């Protein structure tokens, strides 16, 4: 068996209210009235109150090519990763030598080697630890990582799943396409770590399943140009998710001998207010059953693969669950990929 033992999170130092970000965006888009109006409309409807960034906004607005972004990610992302890994090991009362697997997920900047490589020996982990960096699952990486951790923990012992997302480094100032405008209005930066244990924890991981929605691979991802990666977010994403997610969830639960009525708590990827509210309506679940996703979105924006882990931490911290309660986590990422994880509260 595999259990979620504990979760830690961390944020970079520069925190802004949505009103401050909108003001800065006005300067960025001062020559493009249509795009400025789009940004302001999005910012007022996202339900996001604050976001954290790795750099001050003025520095983000001045970002140049891939080399600068990679250097920033290596330095600041590495520091955040060290922070959450150290704290996770301490809070779980582990020796670093007990860690058998280190899964690291990020879709911010594709550094090779991944930023975890220089930390393994520095944190005192054994040199034979199984490392698994994950990049191309995007926003689904946190939920996918828990699924991978469930399987690897059973054979290799204590597993750490760490996410470091500096989504602000993907910002492209000269790109006025809709995807970049939307991304600039919703994405934030953050890091998190989940300790997955073979024998103890607050949540038992019962089952996991990935679901690839046919004919949707072009809706979300990165376009790679000479100046780096450019965010692609199609307006058809919400409809594609809503047309596929209910059936996928129903089949997933049926295979586990359950129905949606047997699930008391739900954690949806905090990707946006429209998607969250539509999933609630489609699945006939209340805001009280999903509120940790809303809390994460409100307080931090969409932090890609880290977002679902922030929501998970909120759920565990509040301790509103009872032993035996079932909880479903839904991750969403490029592909389009749905990642479903089923938990039982302990």
Examine the domain organization and report whether 95 and 139 are in the same domain.
yes
pLDDT of residue 264: 97
pLDDT of residue 56: 95
pLDDT of residue 225: 83
139 tagged catalytic:
yes
Examine the domain organization and report whether 128 and 218 are in the same domain.
no
pLDDT of residue 317: 96
pLDDT of residue 208: 97
**What pTM was computed for the model?**
0.95
pLDDT of residue 117: 94
Separation in Å, CA 238 to CA 86, 154, 179, 219, 242: 37, 35, 14, 10, 6
pLDDT tens for 199-213 read 999 999 999 999 999
Residue after which a domain boundary falls, among 162, 181, 197: 197
Long-range contacts of 237-241 (CB under 8 A, 24+ apart): 237/275, 237/336, 238/272, 238/274, 238/275, 238/278, 240/213, 240/216, 240/336, 241/213, 241/275, 241/279, 241/332, 241/336, 241/338
Q: Are 46 and 185 within 8 A, CB to CB?
A: yes
Q: Which of 182, 159, 46 lies closest to 102 in space, CA to CA? A: 159
Examine the domain organization and report whether 227 and 167 are in the same domain.
no
pLDDT of residue 293: 97
Examine the domain organization and report whether 288 and 142 are in the same domain.
no
Element (H, E) at 235: none
Examine the domain organization and report whether 224 and 322 are in the same domain.
yes
Examine the domain organization and report whether 302 and 324 are in the same domain.
yes
Examine the domain organization and report whether 189 and 285 are in the same domain.
no
Residue after which a domain boundary falls, among 160, 179, 197: 197
Parent domain of 151: 3-197
pLDDT tens, per residue, the chain with 346 residues: 899 999 999 999 999 999 999 998 888 888 787 888 888 888 888 899 999 999 999 999 888 888 999 999 999 999 999 999 999 999 999 999 999 999 999 998 888 899 999 999 999 999 999 999 999 899 999 999 999 999 999 999 999 999 999 999 998 878 788 788 888 889 999 999 999 999 999 999 999 999 999 999 998 888 888 887 888 888 888 889 888 999 999 999 999 999 999 999 999 999 989 889 989 998 999 999 999 999 999 999 999 999 999 999 999 999 999 999 999 999 999 989 999 999 999 9
Residue after which a domain boundary falls, among 175, 197, 219: 197
CATH number at residue 246: 3.40.47.10
List the structure tokens of 229: 């990666």
Examine the domain organization and report whether 284 and 140 are in the same domain.
no
Examine the domain organization and report whether 31 and 134 are in the same domain.
yes
pLDDT of residue 39: 83
List the structure tokens of 236: 């058809």
Examine the domain organization and report whether 191 and 209 are in the same domain.
no
List the structure tokens of 268: 């949806």
Q: Helix and strand tally (H, E) in the chain?
A: 11, 13
Q: How many domains does the chain have?
A: 2
Find the radius of gyration of the CA atoms of the chain. 19
**Scanning the structure block, which residue is given the tokens 């330095």?**
75
Packing angle, helices 237-255 and 273-283, rounded to 10: 40
Examine the domain organization and report whether 147 and 223 are in the same domain.
no
Examine the domain organization and report whether 250 and 308 are in the same domain.
yes
pLDDT of residue 146: 97
- Annotated catalytic residue: which of 107, 139, 167, 193? 139
């Amino acid at each position: 068996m595999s259990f979620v033992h504990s979760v830690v999170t961390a944020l970079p130092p520069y925190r802004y209210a949505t009103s401050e970000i909108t003001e800065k965006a006005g300067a960025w888009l001062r020559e493009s009235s249509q795009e400025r109006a789009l940004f302001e409309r999005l910012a007022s409807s996202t339900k996001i109150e604050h976001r954290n960034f790795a750099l001050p906004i003025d520095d983000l607005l001045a970002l140049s090519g891939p080399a600068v972004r990679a250097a920033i990610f290596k330095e600041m992302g590495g520091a955040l990763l060290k922070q959450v890994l150290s704290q996770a090991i301490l809070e779980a009362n582990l020796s670093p030598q007990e860690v058998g697997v280190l899964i690291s997920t990020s879709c911010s900047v594709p550094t090779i080697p991944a930023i975890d490589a220089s930390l393994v020996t520095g944190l005192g982990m054994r040199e034979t630890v199984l490392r698994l960096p994950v990049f191309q699952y995007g926003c689904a990486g946190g939920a996918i990582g828990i699924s991978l951790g469930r399987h690897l923990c059973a054979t290799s012992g204590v597993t750490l799943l760490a996410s470091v997302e500096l989504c602000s480094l993907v910002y492209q100032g000269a790109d006025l396409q809709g995807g970049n405008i939307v991304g600039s209005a919703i994405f934030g930066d953050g890091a998190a770590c989940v300790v997955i244990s073979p024998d103890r924890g607050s949540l038992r991981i019962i089952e996991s399943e990935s679901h690839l929605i046919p004919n949707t691979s072009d809706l979300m991802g990165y376009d790679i140009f000479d100046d780096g990666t450019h965010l692609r977010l199609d307006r058809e994403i919400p409809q594609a998710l809503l047309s596929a997610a209910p059936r996928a969830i129903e089949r997933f639960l049926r295979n586990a001998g359950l129905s949606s009525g047997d699930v008391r708590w739900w954690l949806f990827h905090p990707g946006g207010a429209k998607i969250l509210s539509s999933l609630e309506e489609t699945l006939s679940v209340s805001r009280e059953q999903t509120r940790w996703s809303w809390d994460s979105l409100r307080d931090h924006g969409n932090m890609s693969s880290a977002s679902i882990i922030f929501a998970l931490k909120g759920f565990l911290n509040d301790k509103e669950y009872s032993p035996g309660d079932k909880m479903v986590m839904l991750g969403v990422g490029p592909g389009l990929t749905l990642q479903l994880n089923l938990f039982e509260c302990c």
